[in-house]
A and B are shown apart, each in its own frame.
Chain A
């Protein structure tokens, strides 16, 4: 049976100043799957995640989550909708004045109607799931990067969300922490039966756990499909990104004028300035 779409992006346009970030992007994310959104740095992956969380509004087009257009929701409705989502921010975004336990308990205290004992048990279970039950008394400043990311993951799933958004979960992690996070994202998705959207540019790590990959580039969708389909794609841009080739359809160089011309122009300008300085010196003497 085909899976329903949990998130739909329709004809999305977004620009900042003169820079167009999305130019008519349309994608669907299916319920129950781990979907990896990938693309080169600066292609708007994190921006897309923020649009899906209702933190940004598109210039044009629609972003629908749970069938509702996020731009049309009132503040209260958006708050209600967000209680069905969990977000793992790139920096972890742990509250620095709260302990690990209180960070994980934050959402439950704000919205839950649990007794203190139930809340205590729930938080310990979530921390156990990420292997950090013993670290519950620590402050965020006392955690390593990998541990902070795992605490943030426990906090993101504490409310039992139907959709979890992961922003670059593997960035800056050592191989062990990366493997732990990979296993956690996959196993939590399967055990808790939620939907995961993973923004990453770590091809191997994301492909290892994703059911589907959405590849973005040049403000639009480059490809969408299973990891193996994209890895075997013959499209030059898809191939270049998925296999990490330094140059190709996606240029290595940022757009710039011709190097020789630029060097010659600079040399001519320096000559003119030197000549002007010599003339000024002759006149004053």
Chain B
């Protein structure tokens, strides 16, 4: 009984390690060739699909989150007669935490799931096998441009999230609740450091981009080629990506701001 449980545990750990090794190998193989002229064209197409098509959801979410931060910050700070510091609070919360995390979660839900489903369907309809038979490596042709596009797109989406969120906070705190505009922008400028806050937020975005895009592509490439297999792989992409984003966010925050 105990031996059986130990064996199952060992099998599970080995299985997970093998999967991580296979995913790493897939990533390295897909990136070992530099894109040619047609590769740049494919990269541009993918930037449109994973980046530009995610802009709307990022704009709407950032605006609402910025507005909520402005409202909550004002209510909280008013008790201490410090409502002028709301701009600083909105900006630091967004730049350090909310923009990279929420944008990455939205990116996993929109672009990550789409990448997994697309690759899964290509596998199911034998398009990947067909590429192989034409002597074209699907890792270079299909996986690499999508991975690079994801890694480029998410940090840009995070910058957009930051900007729109700050303006959302301004709309509520300044235009509706009467905080002085100069205080909103001035306190923000004084408190937010480019190297400590903005850059660290972008490093987080870059790490999340690698994790989400890599997970999505691996799940799609390795999925069981059936409709149920694609469905399960898509679910795994969203669940694993979300958990990794939250877990790595804590680790990165501890390293960047926690004095570790």
Interfacial residues, chain A to chain B (CB-CB below 8 A): 50, 53, 55, 79-80, 82-83, 85, 87, 89-91, 93-96, 106-107, 110-111
Contacts and interface: CB of A to CB of B under 8 A. Distances in A.
Nearest to A152: B130
Contacts, number: 38
Interface of B: 125-127, 129-130, 132-136
B134 A89 contact: no
B11 to A, nearest CB: 13
Nearest to A95: B127
Contacts of A80: 135
13 contacts: A50-B129, A82-B134, A83-B135, A89-B129, A91-B125, A91-B126, A93-B126, A95-B127, A95-B130, A96-B125, A107-B134, A110-B136, A111-B134
Contacts of B125: 91, 93, 96
B79 to A, nearest CB: 57
Nearest to A159: B134
B135 A87 contact: no
Nearest to B134: A107
A129 B70 CA distance: 68
Closest 4 CB pairs of A and B: A79-B135, A93-B126, A93-B130, A89-B126
A50 B129 CA distance: 9
A55 B135 contact: no
A106 B135 CA distance: 11
B129 A55 contact: yes
A93 B127 CA distance: 5
A85 B129 CA distance: 13
A110 B132 contact: no
B47 to A, nearest CB: 16
A96 B130 CA distance: 12
Contacts of B132: 55, 82
B127 A87 contact: no
A87 B136 contact: no
Contacts of B134: 82, 106-107, 110-111
